[in-house]
Structures are given as structure tokens and as C-alpha cells.
Amino acid sequence: MRKEFFAQPYFSLSVVTAMIMVAVEVTPWVAFLGMGLLVWKWGTEKYHWQGMSRRFTGFLSVLLLGQVLFQYRTIVGQDPSYTLLLGLSALRVMDYSTERDHKFVALLGFVLISVKALFSIDIYWVLPSAFAFWGIWYSLLPAQTPSKGKTLWKIFLLSIPMAVILFFAFPRVVIPWAMSRGSTYGQIGFTEDMNPGRVAEIAGSSQLAFRAKIDRLPVKQSKDLYWRGSVLSFSRGLVWRVVPSMPNPGENIRGRGLNPYEVAIEPTSQNFLFALEGTQMLSLESGRVTTLNNSVYRTSRPIVATTVYQGWWSPYFKDMTLPSPNDLKTPEFKGRVLEWVTATNKAAATPEARLELLKKFFTENKFAYTLNPGIYGANDLEEFLFERRKGFCEHFAGSYATLARGLGIPARVVVGYQGGRFNPIGDFWRISQRDAHAWTEVFIDKAWRRVDPTAWIAPLRFEIGGEDFFALSESDQQAFAQQIDWRPPERNTSLLWDRATFLMEDLNYRWSYFLMEFDRSSQDSFFALLGQYKLLSIVGISFALIIFFFLVQNLFKTRVVITEEQELLKTVQEWGTQHHLVRPSSEPPLQYFSRVGRQFPQLQDVLARMSAYYDQKVYAGNKTADSLKDLKKDWKSAIQKKS
């Protein structure tokens, strides 16, 4: 018998839900391919469009595999597996017509749900995953299964204890093929260099970068949060690169009057760790942190899952590392850049005075801060400084550091994140890609000091944070960038939306943190604690399981619905049994009523009416027979008179 995919609403909606959960993670082309194939399948079933032959879908499957290998160079990893599974699922739906196809698509649906759970621990996906799993499993139950929905709920509830036991007892291991996304493209994150437009490209996304709990630190304002990711010392005007450095083992300074904080960073497939300015040490629960020069930190392997690390911060920390010759190297100055550098060196004799003139150059020449400044080349320093004067943070930081070096002051560029959005419900900071930033450090008074020229150009960006600033229209950004006290108008709907967003972010953070924190060491501690109270643990767990199974059994216990006539017969039978008139199962009810009446003549009248009621209800199908309530009342009165 030919089956239709969309004729089964539970199944089709569940499979589509599983596909959507994966589609949000893949490159757009495969998401559109999947959507197009689903629409085509719907048209073939609803409007009899021309379908695809199995040979043609098989050919498309081979093309899909080739495209994945060409794009990712592998089928191992998060991105290639997502892409391949989503495309194959859509193609199998196109072939759907038999019971065998049904089981195969159901299997692919389970795989999609499992892969999503493997790579994403956000709580937002729990309900869609549960719905998809329930719908697919429902479609696999035999048609003759009584109360399919109730049966499925019973299976689901009975599986909860096993799921909990597996969560706490299953060994915490690293999955080798999940160690990489399998992609070097489409990833949002920093690299070891800074080209014009690179940071703006990152800041164009609102994707979460990391969350941070800094409640033990005196830093309370967004404008004071500078998260260092990398220090760039090799300059070519607007292009900056990292100068390779050897690991710096440093010193274990935990517990020496420092303030701890925690960061939960999202997967990046890179090894960057972002440390709050003033951090003296970072550590991971599992894994090794490499400390490089200039207070820069890296992991020993790429971050492919949400990872928690700890930092130790000091308000008195100063980087007094002496500058290297690279910190004074500049590209060859020409034209107006050379004229300005020469004139400034002559006009000011001290580094402090020269830096003051450099600040005036940026504050008095009407620079504009924008995500879309146009294209600059590596050697377009003069065009940026003296002609267009439109740029993002990397343009200001790179040009400032280059000019500072031209004035004889060691300088370098730092890239990372600035600011964040505080969640008052969860008491943590949410740092998104919109907070991506670049700033400058100069060596003066025997220490490296932060100078952020972007703060002179667009102070509003630092007051309200990158996420809120870039949520404004571009015209508002340009109009109010320098008005430090301006705030966007608040609406009741936006306030309500913010509260709901804060609540969901806090819930997701707590959920993710719980799952991340229960690692191998936490598991060992858990079992050690159980070992201390071995007998109590066994008794408690056994008792809890017994209670749970008892509740589930009673919850789904089949309850017999008694009709009015059955209730009437039961009433007479119970009385008759007490008076030694037991009704055999083979005796018809009307004969039993008659036998009781013969034995107790004073009950004959009411029993005759009961017989008539039973006969009308059961055999004649008369739904408007006498009221059961009146009959039971008369029966009660009659047996009281008899006694």
C-alpha cells in the first residue's frame, strides 16, 4: 500500500521539526535545498506534481556527498555531518512511499535529534527534540496498539529513571570525531591578524560569544570590561599581525588576594581564551591553558563545545614587560602622514605631549564610527586619516598605534571584546559578537597602558554596550554616537521582551552550566560521596524507584467505566451477596432480579421497576428511561423497611 508523508501529521511534523533543528546550524544552501525538497514533496502529494525517480535522488545523494567533501574536505565533524544528514533526510523524504521508507526516514529523524543533542546543550532545543522524538516514535507503534498516546507516555515516564542513571553513571569521555566542526569556513571568531573590516565582520553578528560571572569583582559597568584575546605587534599600517612568542609558564598565583571569576565560552573551533583586563591567570577544569607573553591565553586544543574556565583578577595588575623592537616598527610613511608625524615630533618634546596631540587629531577631525566604512587596503592609512575618515574600531586602533610608533612611543593593538550585557536575573554578563573590539596599548611611564581611540569617536557605544548600540538604525548610530547621555526610547513591549529574554538566558545558562560542570572529576566526586553513604544510597534510590514505578502504574492503570445499568446491577448484587443470594456469572441480570424478588416479596415492586429500567437501557436502547437516582433512592428505602 502506497504511503504519503504529509498524510501523517504527527510523523511529518516531527521529522520536519528535527530537520529544522539541524538546518539552523548549516550553511544556507543546504537549508534551502531541504526546504525546497519538502515543498516539492508536498506538491507531489497534494497537487500531483511530477516527482523524482529513486535513481535521480540517488544521483543527487552522490552529488551531495561530493559537495560536502569539496566544501569541508571531510565528512567527519559537526558541520559536514549536519550538512550530509540534512540533505540525505530531505532526499529520503522525496522517495517516501512504502513502509520501508517510513522506517528509514524515522531512523534518520532519530539520528538528527541525537546529533543535535550531541553538539548543542541549549535548553531551547529540549522541547522541540522531545516533540520530534515523541511524534516519530508514535508513528512506529502498531496500529492495533490500544491508547497509543497513553502507551507512549508510559514508556517515556518509565525511561526517565534510566536516563537519570545513565547521565550520572555513564563515563565522561571525549568523542574523537566530535573534536572538530570539520570546517574552516563560516566560523565567527578572531584570527592571529587584523585586516581592515575583519572585526566589523565579527561585530555584524549577534551570536553569543561567552558568558561571564564577575560578581566578586569591583568592575560593574559595561564600559570598563575589556576582554583581551590577542596582542598584535607587527604593523603594516591598517594591517596588524601577531609576532610569534614562546609560552610563558608564569607563576601559580591562585589564592594570593586575587578575585576569581568564571567564563563559559561558546564553541569556536579555535583555541582563543578571552581574559578580563587585569587577569593574572586562567585555568580550565579539564585541559591545559598555555600562557603567552602580553597576558594572552590559549587552550591546548580547539574549543568544540561550551567550555568553562576560571580567571584570577587583580585591580593592581600592571604589564611592565619591556617593549621589543617590533613595538616601534612602522611602515614607510608617505605624503600627509609623513608631514603630520614630522610636524608633531617637532611640536612636542615629551611622549605625553605627543600623545595629547595625537588625541586631538582624532577628536577634532570629525571621524565617523560605522560598521560599513567601505573597503580599505593594507596601505590606505593616508586615505583613512585625511580623506574618508570613516572606520570601525580596528581602523582607529591600527592607525593610532601606527602614528604613536611614528612619534617614538612603543604601541600595539589588542583585539577581543569590549563590554557586554548584564543579566540581572542570573547575575552574569552576556558578551556577544557585537561586542567584538580592537584597542591600543602604549608603553609609557614604564608600563603598558590602554588607549581606546574609538571611545573618543563614539562614546555612546561604550555607555550602552555594543549589542544595544548596533541594534539602533545606522542613522541613529551616526546621529547620537557622541551624545553620551542619549538613550533609545523605551517602550512597555521592549521592557517586557527584555525581562523575558533575561529569564530565558538565565534558565539556559543554569542548564548549560550544570551539564558542563558535571565532568569526569565531578562524576568521581559524586560516586565518592555515594560510597560514604553506600547503604543509605542504595536504600534511598531503591525506595525512590519503587515509588516512581508505583505512581506510573497507577497513573496509567486501566480504569473500567461503569454504565448506569451496570451500577444498578452491582448495587443489587452487593446486597444479595450479603443475604446469601450470590449471582453466578451465567445467570442473566433480569432472572437475578426476579429471584431476589421471590426470596424477599417486600422488594418485588422496586425490583420490578429495576428490571424494567435495565431492560429499557440494555436491550431496548432507551436512553430516556427512569432516573437511576430515583431508583436507587427507592431501593434504599425498601431495604430499610425490610430490615
Structure confidence at residue 58 as a pLDDT band (50, 70, 90): very high
- State the CB neighbour count (10 A cutoff) for residue 239: 22
Lowest mean pLDDT segment, chosen from 180-184, 269-273, 600-604: 180-184
Q: What is the pTM of this model?
A: 0.71
Cβ(153)–Cβ(556) below 8 Å? yes
Taking all residues of the chain, what is their mean pLDDT, rounded to a whole number? 84
Mean pLDDT over residues 88-97, rounded? Answer: 94
Backbone angles phi, psi at 320, to 5 degrees: -105, 20
Q: Would the pLDDT of 283 be above 80?
A: yes
pLDDT of residue 79: 85
Q: Would the pLDDT of 229 be above 80?
A: yes
> 249 in helix, strand or coil?
coil
pLDDT of residue 100: 92
pLDDT of residue 178: 44
Cβ(509)–Cβ(426) below 8 Å? yes
Structure confidence at residue 622 as a pLDDT band (50, 70, 90): low
Mean pLDDT over residues 558-584, rounded? Answer: 80
Structure confidence at residue 186 as a pLDDT band (50, 70, 90): very low
pLDDT, tens digit (0-9, with 9 covering 90-100), for 257-273: 789 999 999 888 889 99
DSSP state of 491: -
CA distance 643 to 641: 5
- Among residues of the chain, what percentage have pLDDT more than 70? 84
Lowest mean pLDDT segment, chosen from 4-8, 153-157, 236-240: 153-157
User: Helix H segments across 442-562?
Assistant: 454-457, 459-464, 466-469, 474-480, 492-517, 520-532, 534-555
Residue 131: CB partners within 8 Å, gap ≥ 6?
A: 14, 17
**Sequence spans of domains, the chain:** 9-169, 193-489, 564-641
pLDDT, tens digit (0-9, with 9 covering 90-100), for 306-331: 888 999 999 888 888 899 988 999 98
Mean pLDDT over residues 17-31, rounded? Answer: 92
